[in-house]
Amino acid sequence: MADGIDIGERLATAPELFTPLARSLPATVPFVGPEALERRMGIRFRARLGANESVFGPSPRAAEAMARAAAGSWAYGDPELSELREALAHKHGLTRAHISVGEGIDGLLGHLVRLTCEPGDRVVTSLGAYPTFNYHVAGHGARLDLVPYRNDHEDVEALIERARTLRPKLLYFANPDNPTGSWAEASTVRRLIDETPAETILVLDEAYGDFAPEGTLPPSDLLRPNLLRFRTFSKAYGMAGVRIGYVFGDPASAVQFDKVRNHFGVSRIAQAGALAALGDDRFLRDTIERVARARDRIGAIARANGLAPLPSATNFVAIDAGRDGTYARALLDAVLRRGVFIRMPGVAPLDRLIRVTVGRDEDLDLFAEALAGALDEVGGPDERLSGS
């Protein structure tokens, strides 16, 4: 009892204070974090290889810049992010007017859905693609139309056809892709850009673009009013905990984010770190090389245990566990119990995969040990092949 009102009564009446849309949504988040799993399971993970973070960390220059900025964190950051936008414009051969910065790609996707979608509007994406995008779409009452993957790749032809038919407000495409690690050539992406209906915004998520092979990303000066390209400092730059990303596109489209964004949402610390990270190309190159070596190691671990790694242009490797989602979930749970955090896609047929983020040698040693033990528990390669 508090203030004369029973808590049970409060719980019963509180939902009526919110909109029907809010009441219809599940009380959930797109991802269960490793900290929540540790609390739930009563363990402490020895290796964190599930969230596609960079265990190689940020550039020392970025870390030093953020430490210096912390002393001034009594003050708000520049709401126009002028210096950072200027540096990003220089990187891409654009102007500040082409760029908006926000609290990671996730925050920017939320702003985009708010800017474009009303309840009932159609949005097209791939079945099993990045769930946080879907989370924002559902949160604004729009309707998702889902196109299945084909051969563990987003199906560009089917996405184009669905967009032609539905004329959706948004068409989402990640290149390289999460959760499979696959990628499309720039020529294929160019065709998707050209074939997207004029009334549909193509949401091109390039979070993993720094890891992609040459010829994957279209040139930055390829601009359309209905094309927005999203990048992040969370992956190759090793700043996932800082929460900073950006979107670039036609100035008339990029400026729309100023109408709804949290103008003080990107802290002084984040701005300083991102600016310093952009100035350390050597560290970025070294990180990309370390990621490539670690991908090879994960693939070798998978093959040594009778599993099939998928080709990857990201900082993770999707591994085909060889059966269905039920089996892959059992395998994943067994790895988790051995103190190694990994993840898996949640939608069939991709849920036959487990997804392992790259790590240091010592992290991957722990994964190799945990995977071998998990396979002993749930069934080894010979047993899987025989169906027993």
Domain that holds residue 179: 60-279
Assess whether 275 and 288 both reside in one domain.
Answer: no
Q: What tens digit of pLDDT does each residue of 179-215 get?
A: 999 999 999 999 999 999 999 999 999 999 999 999 9
pTM (2 d.p.): 0.94
| 219 burial level (CB within 10 Å; 0-12, 13-18, 19+) | exposed
Assess whether 94 and 242 both reside in one domain.
Answer: yes
* Closest alpha carbon to 246 in 58, 95, 98, 70: 98
Q: Say which CATH number the domain at 44 has.
A: 3.90.1150.10
Q: Say which CATH number the domain at 81 has.
A: 3.40.640.10
Q: Say if residues 52 and 235 touch (Cβ distance below 8 Å).
A: yes
Residue 273 lies in a domain: yes
Average pLDDT of every residue of the chain: 94
pLDDT at 385 over 80: no
Q: What tens digit of pLDDT does each residue of 162-178 get?
A: 999 999 999 999 999 99
Q: How far apart are CA 209 and CA 176, in angstroms?
A: 6
Q: Compute the average pLDDT of residues 40-57.
A: 97
pLDDT at 47 over 50: yes
What pLDDT does residue 28 have? 77
Task: Name the domain boundary from 264, 279, 294.
Answer: 279
The tokens for 302 are 């998978």
- Residues 91-120, buried b or exposed e (16+ Cβ, 10 A)? ebebebebbbbbbbbbbbbbbbbebbbeee
Task: Name the domain boundary from 279, 312, 336.
Answer: 279
pLDDT at 7 over 80: no
Residue 13 lies in a domain: no
pLDDT at 126 over 60: yes
Q: Residues 94, 66, 175, 146: what is their CA dihedral angle, to the nearest 10 degrees?
A: -110
Assess whether 365 and 257 both reside in one domain.
Answer: no
* Closest alpha carbon to 121 in 96, 150, 141, 151: 141
Output phi, psi for 247, to 5 deg: -130, 140
Assess whether 273 and 288 both reside in one domain.
Answer: no
Q: What angle do CA 243, 244, 247 make, to 5 degrees?
A: 140
Q: How many structural domains is the chain composed of?
A: 2
